[in-house]
Amino acid sequence: MSLAKRGAAGIAAALLLALAPAPAIAQAVAFRSCVAELRSTAIGKGIAAATVDGAFAGVEPDEEVLRALEDQPEFRLSIWDYLAALVDEERVADGRERLAKWAPVLEEIERRYGVDRHVVVAFWGVETDYGRVMGRRSLVRSLLTLSCNPRRQGFFRGELMATLRILDGGDIPAEALVGSWAGAFGQTQFMPSTWQRLAVDFDGDGRRDIVGSVPDALASTAHYLQRAGWISGQPWGAEVRIPPGYSGPAGRSTRMPMAKWSALGVRMLDGTAPSGEASAALLLPAGPRGPAFLVLRNYSAIFAYNAAESYALSVAHLADRLRGAGPFSTPWPTDDPGLSRAERREVQERLVARGADIGAPDGIIGSRTRAAILEFQKANGLRADGRAGQALLKALRAQGPATDGGSPPEKNERAGGGGSR
């Protein structure tokens, strides 16, 4: 490289240094001007200026929320890992306790909305572990950040306006309006626009408070399901058996009369042919070698709440378990099943005992736990995929000193949300 060129490079570097703060300043200016525009929009929609100004005062964009929006999870859970933690013995036991504690309220909810109490409580358990994990991010800050970012801006601006309406009406105190990065909040994680449409005041204090009032939250969830087409007295569906080598139709969108499924060889677990007037779809969430389900209209209502097959199946299955049913009859097609939260905590405790720096065991397998798992797997000739399954737990137990197992779960924010509700 010639001296002249090196000189030019040096000048360019000096210029870059001088200019470095400029993008940050430009961003801050753009954010303030976006906030001012949204302030006008809100006031134009009839929200009190004092409410808007109080909510927006001193709010800075939350970079973590933008990272969450862009994040493509590099590690996708298989459906058996997903269900193993969401429908485990702890959640079943906790749910039964809630069913007993809130029995009079749940009875009234069933009467008014026609939705099975076990399903309502299952949503509560899957969404926030019965109110333990509701998210900690300020809704205003998250939604203001997302409303001033191009991606899905219209959607998030609508949610921001709905949040301001909640504050304007005084239904929920500002400090309680916290939730997931995408704005889902409360005991059963409604989006603000869903709160606006469907939340109900069930305890009769004049406020629709799905954060502080369990009756309000559970009734609002039942109301959501009623409006999503819940058919009272009908199950969501049931596990079934399919003939070996089945290659017929499957998937939520292929609905057929029971007689057709029967003709294709689908049988109930007790061996009888599926019957009834309702049309059903056959779900094979892990392919024809795994558990099979015939699902009815109420499954679609569950699916509407959060459009993911593994999610809907978790709620449906937890509801059945709360009612007293056992695990699925057909095992998942894997030789390395998933872990309950208690087992995940044990994995973490054993990794910590081996010197891994993963923080307090909380049963949530995050990136640091996965890195420690990967290291252990590589060092021990296991399949190196960073996954916490039964094979890993067995290997850790075989090597490490015994732990007392089972410390209480830590509160931890779920990054989920962003569904349509």
The residues binding Ca ion (CB under 5 A) are 201, 203, 205, 207, 209, 213, 216
The residue number whose beta carbon is nearest to Ca ion equals: 201
Whose Cβ is closer to Ca ion: residue 104's or residue 244's? 104
Whose Cβ is closer to Ca ion: residue 45's or residue 101's? 101
DSSP-derived letter for residue 174 is G
Q: How far is the CB of 392 from Ca ion (least distance, A)?
A: 45
Q: How far is the CB of 353 from Ca ion (least distance, A)?
A: 46
Whose Cβ is closer to Ca ion: residue 90's or residue 203's? 203
Q: How far is the CB of 164 from Ca ion (least distance, A)?
A: 20
Q: In angstroms, rounded to a whole number, what is the distance separating the alpha carbons of residues 177 and 166?
A: 9
Q: How far is the CB of 209 from Ca ion (least distance, A)?
A: 5
Q: In angstroms, rounded to a whole number, what is the distance separating the alpha carbons of residues 51 and 166?
A: 10
The structure tokens 């190196």 sit at: 384
Q: CB-based contacts of 95: which residues, under 8 Å, 6+ apart?
A: 121, 122, 124, 125, 130, 318, 321, 322
The type of residue at 51 is: T
Q: In angstroms, rounded to a whole number, what is the distance separating the alpha carbons of residues 39 and 52?
A: 6
Q: In angstroms, rounded to a whole number, what is the distance separating the alpha carbons of residues 333 and 246?
A: 15
Helix, strand, coil % (nearest 5) of the chain?
50, 5, 40
Whose Cβ is closer to Ca ion: residue 216's or residue 346's? 216
Q: How far is the CB of 280 from Ca ion (least distance, A)?
A: 38
Helices and strands per DSSP (H, E), number in the chain: 18, 7
Whose Cβ is closer to Ca ion: residue 204's or residue 381's? 204
Whose Cβ is closer to Ca ion: residue 34's or residue 176's? 176
Q: How far is the CB of 221 from Ca ion (least distance, A)?
A: 14
